[in-house]
Amino acid sequence: MTDSAATSLPADHPPVRFGRIGVLLVNLGTPEATDYWSMRRYLKEFLSDRRVIEVPRLIWWPILNLIVLSTRPQKSGHAYETIWNTERNESPLKTITRSQADQIAAVYREMPQIEVDWAMRYGKPAIGERIEALQAAGCEKILVVPLYPQYSASTTATVNDKAFEALMRMRWQPALRTAAPWHDDPAYIEALATSLTNHLATLDFEPEVVLTSYHGLPESYLKKGDPYHCQCHKTTRLLRARLGWPEDKLRVTFQSRFGKEVWLQPYTDETVKALARDGVKRLAIMTPGFVADCLETLEEIAIQNGEFFREAGGEQFTAIPCLNDTPEGMNVLKTVVARELQGWI
């Protein structure tokens, strides 16, 4: 509440904060620790989401509780230990998302009516908790930014669901606006091109092939109308055009599948192995669908797929970092936030 707004209230009016605008950055989520129970809590919340797992509850619930949550927490915990930020005792995803929010806040430092915060869809800090905190800080309008360049019901939509679910508990609801995906935004494509070019310049080899690896989805989600697959391909096509590369130099693959269902193809791990067997000796992988490095990029791509490549006959491998909180990455997020705040500021 501004000083002028405060003085306009009657003398006997109860204290209330109003007139501000909130910006809430939301990423996927993270466990609070790598032990069994921390991992179990995180995985249960994640894998219980009907947007993520669309298998009927009658079938999925016994599988989740009797099988998946009995075995997967240990495996996932060991994987997280390889990439854990031990200095802060948190996952890299949390470290980077906090930094991204801090840098967006710095952009609007001279505009005290803007309050910037961050949350996780699964784990902490929770979306509802942070929306309530923004409202308590006087935010009558809140922009929710799901940190996914490509839209999917299992990512963007579930963030939006949770945000509106929080409003259902409020008597005085703030106006809520959700950011659109930016898979084809020129600022995003330029940032990817710059990041890729800069990273390759640091290497003592030139990759024969660069894979753009996106998080996978069951193929059935595409058939139900999810636009994710098309938006991933469009991102890579625009990046390829920006770089002036041929189609066989920059290719699309999909990672992180589990279960027996057919997922979006080609699969990253199988492509990596096939390329090495076919004689490719130098390979790079970038992950444009992730705005911050996390388990899927640091462990699955940089470690696992690097091993797959070398074991199958490849020689030189590099994983290109996400845009993260670099100047290029922050320019994208600043562009998205500024675009979505039009009409409010």
Give percent of the chain above pLDDT 90. 94
With vertex at residue 232, the alpha carbon angle to CA 85 and CA 258, rounded to the nearest 5 degrees, is 60
Mean of per-residue pLDDT scores for the chain? 95
Q: What six digits make up the tokens of 309?
A: 């490549």
Strands (E), 60-218: 114-123, 139-146, 175-178, 209-215
Helix 327-340 vs helix 186-201: crossing angle, to nearest 10: 180
DSSP at 126? B
pLDDT at 73: 97
Return the higher-pLDDT residue of 247 and 10: 247
Classify 17-27+88-181+328-340 by CATH class: alpha beta
Is the confidence at residue 1, as pLDDT, over 50?
no
pLDDT at 105: 98
pLDDT at 9: 64
Whole-model pTM over 0.75: yes
pLDDT at 14: 64
pLDDT at 17: 73
Is the confidence at residue 248, as pLDDT, over 60?
yes
pLDDT at 13: 62
Tell me how far apart the alpha carbons of residues 256 and 263 are, in angstroms, rounded to a whole number: 9
Calculate the CA dihedral of residues 99, 166, 14, 140 and round it to 10 degrees.
60
Mean pLDDT check: name the lowest of 237-246, 258-267, 326-335: 258-267
With vertex at residue 17, the alpha carbon angle to CA 15 and CA 18, rounded to the nearest 5 degrees, is 135
Sheet order of strands, 114-123 included:
114-123, 20-30, 139-146, 175-178
Strand (E) or helix (H) holding 254: strand 250-255
CB 93 within 8 A of CB 27: yes
Is the confidence at residue 286, as pLDDT, over 70?
yes
Q: Position of tokens 């290719």?
A: 251
SS3 242: helix
Mean predicted confidence (pLDDT) in 71-81: 96
Beta-sheet pairing, 209-215 with 250-255: parallel
The pLDDT tens digits for 201-225 are 999 999 999 999 999 999 999 999 9
The yes-or-no answer to whether 17-27+88-181+328-340 and 186-320 have a common fold is: yes
Neighbours of 124 (CB within 10 A): 14
CB 255 within 8 A of CB 304: no
pLDDT at 11: 72
Neighbours of 193 (CB within 10 A): 17
Tell me how far apart the alpha carbons of residues 125 and 184 are, in angstroms, rounded to a whole number: 29
Domain ranges of the chain: 17-27+88-181+328-340, 32-81, 186-320
Considering the four listed CATH numbers 3.50.50.60, 3.30.470.20, 3.40.50.1400, 1.20.20.10, the one that applies to the domain covering 186-320 is 3.40.50.1400
What band does 337 get if pLDDT is binned at 50, 70 and 90? very high
The pLDDT tens digits for 36-57 are 999 999 999 999 999 999 999 9
What band does 3 get if pLDDT is binned at 50, 70 and 90? very low
The pLDDT tens digits for 126-168 are 999 999 999 999 999 999 999 999 999 999 999 999 999 999 9
pLDDT at 48: 96
Q: Position of tokens 């009558």?
A: 140
Give percent of the chain above pLDDT 70. 96
Mean predicted confidence (pLDDT) in 278-294: 98
pLDDT at 8: 66
